[in-house]
Chains A and B, each alone.
Chain A
Amino acid sequence: MTDLLRGLAPLLAAHLELALIALLIGAAISLPIAIVATRRPLLAEIAIAVTSIVQTVPGLALLALMVPILAAIGGPPFGFAPALIALALYALLPILRNAVTGLRGVDPAAVEAAIGMGMSPWQVMRFVQLPLAAPVIAAGIRTAAVWTVGAATLATPVGQACLGNYIFTGLQTRNFAMLLAGVAASAALALTLDAILAAFELSLAGRRRRRAWIPLAGLAAFVAIVIGVVPRAIHPSDDHVAVRTSKEPAARAAITHVRIGAKTFTEQYVLAELLRARLAAVGISADLAQSLGSNVIFDALVRGDVDVYVDYTGTLWTNVMHRASNVARWQVLAEIEGWLAHDHGVRSLGSLGFENTYAIAVRRDTAQRYDLHTLGDLARVAPQLSLGADYEFLGRAEWAAVERTYGVHFGRSTTFDPALLYEAVARGEVDAISAFSSDGRIAANDLVVLADPLNALPPYDATILLGSRIADDARVACALAPLHVPVELMRQANAMVDRDKASAADAAAWLLARVDAPVCPP
């Protein structure tokens, strides 16, 4: 429990920092537009329409959208920048709308009197319009603050540390204490900001405006405590706790510290801990960047924001290289290695020893009732059945290949979070699911994986990828290259986390004890 809270502090700090800077940028853009718009009503309409459209984009999509956009214009597509830009965009509408409404609502008599007594347009704005609209503007900032703190939890998949790390990891590994801690911290943060800004708003609405410094001082103190004091008090000697991505100098000196990436599911967390343990054995320290989106993580590796992670050949083949399926396993591995080295300076250490392929799984009673063994068998009865899939499966080339190769067409298909898929099929919500072959929950829920005799699904060999900074480092190579993880062990390690609520680090230690491979001397 104390570990949980200790890990929470830097995330809370990073979360607040991200949300507040986004809020400030949002205000810095919205307020001048609203001020200019008092003279140009058309501008106000256009600006509000544009920001309303931004607001209709779901938060996760807006954040994810920043990654390719930033990559296309040559910005840093990973971590703080995309999260900040997306959240600042999110903050625009409430601030802009309230500022425009507030400025429009200013008593016209006060404005006329001010002009009549000889105020310049700027003085009218400064001494009359802005002060009178201030409570409404403050209410807009308050709304934006609550939205931004909430939406900032979605920054995790683009590689920015925030309270979302606990929420995503907790959800994926079914660690509800962690999930709850993340949600509660995020809610507490939002409520605290809301209360402070409500006091600020009230101080502006009343007569005694000079008291407005009190809530502002409260806000400053709160920010200082959360960002400055708490993380330091909890990690007195641990200042390298990475809150934001900071690139190591690209010197050719011996590698002493690396950053390990992990995608958003249990196996990735376990493997990241496994890599960390192996690297520690040769004297290389590591920090983890967890819960990165599948498309973000490869870009992060190429850019050097992440040094090492485990990917799957099928993902690289179809999603990154955009190649067709139905290709032999050895050919995929060989071509990927060459492409990675040549095009990106990334080194693949070959197959880690197991495959984690997409598969279609059904309950045992379903398999027996319809006599299902292969995807071909499934095609016969699929129109009477329903499919549950993770977010990406139905849009992926693999599913198209299954449909094309076997003529499988389900009567109904539903999308679930991967963490909930296995429960959905076990409880009979759906008849079949998109599963991962190394997932411990296949055995745990007594599911049957249907065979793919026509190779519609490409091979998904797990493989360790090294970024260019460490690709040629001998110690890294001999710490990681000998690793060989059989699929049974991987499945059990995954099940330890998913079913038995062990931590990813404990599962990795368990795995390490059974993966008997030598490492170089330190």
Chain B
Amino acid sequence: MIELDGVSKRYLDAYAVKQVTISIASGEFIAVLGESGSGKTTLVKMINRLVEPDSGVVRIAGKDVRGEDVVALRRRIGYVIQHIGLLPHLTIADNIATVPRLLGWTDDAIRARVAELLELVGMPDVGPRFPDQLSGGQRQRIGVARALAAKPHVLLLDEPLGALDPITRLGLQRELARIHRELNLTSVMVTHDMVEAFTLADRIAVMFRGELRQLATPHELAANPADDYVARLVGLAREQAEVVRGL
């Protein structure tokens, strides 16, 4: 479904992403895990061409994304960011309706889609409200609903839960997992939270200093870490779990 084939990106004289190859199957949930500066966000932005790789190819359904109209491409890919970026002067319903409007849907179709999405994220009544009347967690649900408005098959999430408190965060993780399954999406989520990656993802891509250190299922990652860095990550996650269990 999505292929990143030997992609690299340099900024000045440092590699942000270096020779990364990942093949993502349709319906898969991939977590891209790494600390800040590891290149994980840069890698994901290559998929919707917010970043153009210096070398290598990105393909979606076998087609090189560079051959596609960038605006049309992005409208087919849902995109959720940590800071959400809802438009404060528009109602929640109008925020969700943004891309369908750009695509020229009819008013009836837009209204139906907005209602459907508000139902999906469990907030059926907030349509007429404004973003500053919602909590952070509620706003991010709307961010997800907006990203899904034009019925994309691919959803990119750039640390979508990074700014939320742990309880809200857990709720939204479950919500994302459910939506991913229900809509049969192919999802790629950037995160620096190991537990989040382990609980949500089918496979985890561990990035370190621009390089892909390991791409594996959570189980495999825990059982056979590819190098010291991955081993240390897994070890830390285990340690946390032990501490919690010992309480």
A5 vs B73: C-alpha distance when bound (angstroms): 66
Distance from A312 Cβ to chain B, minimum over Cβ atoms (Å): 63
Q: Which residue on chain B has the smallest CB distance to residue A121? A: B71
CB distance from A356 to the nearest CB of B (A): 64
Q: Which interface class (under 10, 10 to 19, 20 to 34, 35 or more) fits B? A: 20 to 34
Contacts of B179-204 to chain A: CB distance below 8 A: none
Question: What distance in Å separates the Cβ of B45 from its nearest Cβ neighbour in chain A?
Answer: 8
Interface residues on A, range: 20 to 34
Chain A residues with Cβ under 8 A from B71's Cβ? 118-120
Contact call A117/B89, Cβ cutoff below 8 A: no
**Alpha-carbon separation in the docked complex, A120 to B88 (Å):** 20
Residues on B with C-beta less than 8 A from A221 are: none
B73 cross-chain contacts in A, Cβ below 8 A: 118
- B237 interface hit (Cβ, 8 Å): no
Contact A116 B87 (CB under 8 A): no
Partner of A132, one of B75, B78, B88: B88
Q: Which among B78, B102, B132, B143 is the interface contact of A123 at CB below 8 angstroms?
A: B102
- Chain B residues in 8 Å Cβ range of A128: 87
Q: Which of A114, A116, A123, A128 has most chain B Cβ within 10 Å?
A: A116
Residues of chain A with a CB closer than 8 A to B132's CB: 207
A116-B48, A117-B74 in contact; A109/B79 too (CB < 8 A)? no
Contact indicator per residue, chain B 192-232, by CB within 8 Å of chain A (1) or not (0): 00000000000000000000000000000000000000000
A131/B79 in contact, CB under 8 A: no
Q: What 1/0 mask marks residues of chain A from 91 to 124 whose CB sits below 8 Å from any chain B CB?
A: 0000000000000000111111111111110010
Question: In the complex the two chains form, what is the Cα distance from A287 to B47 in whole Å?
Answer: 74
Q: By the criterion CB–CB under 8 Å, are A109 and B88 in contact?
A: no
B87 touches A117 (CB 8 A): no
Bound together, the chains give a CA A114 to CA B99 distance in angstroms of 9
Provide the bound-state CA to CA distance between A188 and B131, in Å: 39
List residues of B (70-96) whose CB comes within 8 Å of A's CBs.
71-76, 78-79, 81, 83-89
B82 to chain A, nearest CB (A): 8
A213 at the interface (CB under 8 A from B): no
What per-residue 1/0 map shows which CB atoms of B120-148 lie under 8 Å from chain A? Answer: 00000000001010000000000100110
Tell me, yes or no, whether B98 is within 8 Å of chain A by CB: yes
Which residues of A lie under 8 Å from residue B25 when comparing CB positions? none
Q: Are A131 and B89 in contact (CB under 8 A)?
A: yes
Q: Are B99 and A117 in contact (CB under 8 A)?
A: yes
- By the criterion CB–CB under 8 Å, are B85 and A112 in contact? yes
Q: Which of B128-171 contact A (CB under 8 A)?
A: 130, 132, 143, 146-147, 156
Q: Which of B74, B84, B85 is A118 in contact with, Cβ under 8 Å?
A: B74
Are B81 and A116 within 8 A (Cβ)? Answer: yes
- Give the chain A neighbours of B81 by CB distance below 8 A: 109, 112-113, 116
A323: interface (CB < 8 Å):
no
The yes or no answer to B50 lying at the interface (CB within 8 A) is: yes
Contact among B75, B83, B88, B130 for A117, CB-based, below 8 A: B75
Max chain B C-beta neighbours (<10 A), residue from A115, A117, A127, A209:
A117
Contact present for B102 and A113 (CB under 8 Å): no
Among A112, A119, A120, A207, contact of B130 (Cβ-Cβ < 8 Å) = A207
* CB <8 Å contact, A118 and B72: yes
Complex alpha-carbon distance, A120 and B69, angstroms: 11
Interface residues of A in 115-153 (CB under 8 A from B): 115-120, 123, 127-128, 131-132
- Least Cβ–Cβ distance between B190 and chain A, in angstroms: 13
Bound Cα distance from A112 to B86, whole angstroms: 10
Flag if A113 contacts B130 (CB, 8 Å): no
Cα–Cα, bound, A66→B241 (Å): 78
The smallest beta-carbon distance between B12 and chain A, in angstroms, is 19
Interchain CA distance A111-B99 in the complex, whole Å: 14
CB distance from A98 to the nearest CB of B (A): 18
Pick from B72, B76, B85: contact of A113, CB below 8 A: B85
Chain A residues with CB under 8 Å of B143's CB are 113
Report the minimum CB–CB distance from B201 to chain A (whole Å).
Answer: 21
Which residues in B have their C-beta under 8 angstroms from that of A113?
A: 79, 81, 83-86, 143, 146
Q: Is the CB of A119 within 8 A of B87?
A: no
Contacts of B84 in A (CB 8 A): 109, 113
Residues of A contacting B146 in the complex (Cβ-Cβ under 8 angstroms): 113, 117
- A118 in contact with B75 given A109-B81, A127-B98 (CB within 8 Å): yes
Beyond contacts A110-B88, A113-B79, A123-B102: 9 other A-B pairs, Cβ-Cβ < 8 A, are: A107-B83, A110-B85, A110-B86, A116-B81, A127-B98, A128-B87, A132-B88, A207-B88, A207-B132
Contacts from B to A (Cβ < 8 Å): 48, 50, 71-76, 78-79, 81, 83-89, 98-99, 102, 130, 132, 143, 146-147, 156
Query: Across chains A and B, which 5 residue pairs bring their CB atoms closest together, nearest first?
Result: A113-B85, A109-B83, A118-B74, A118-B75, A116-B79
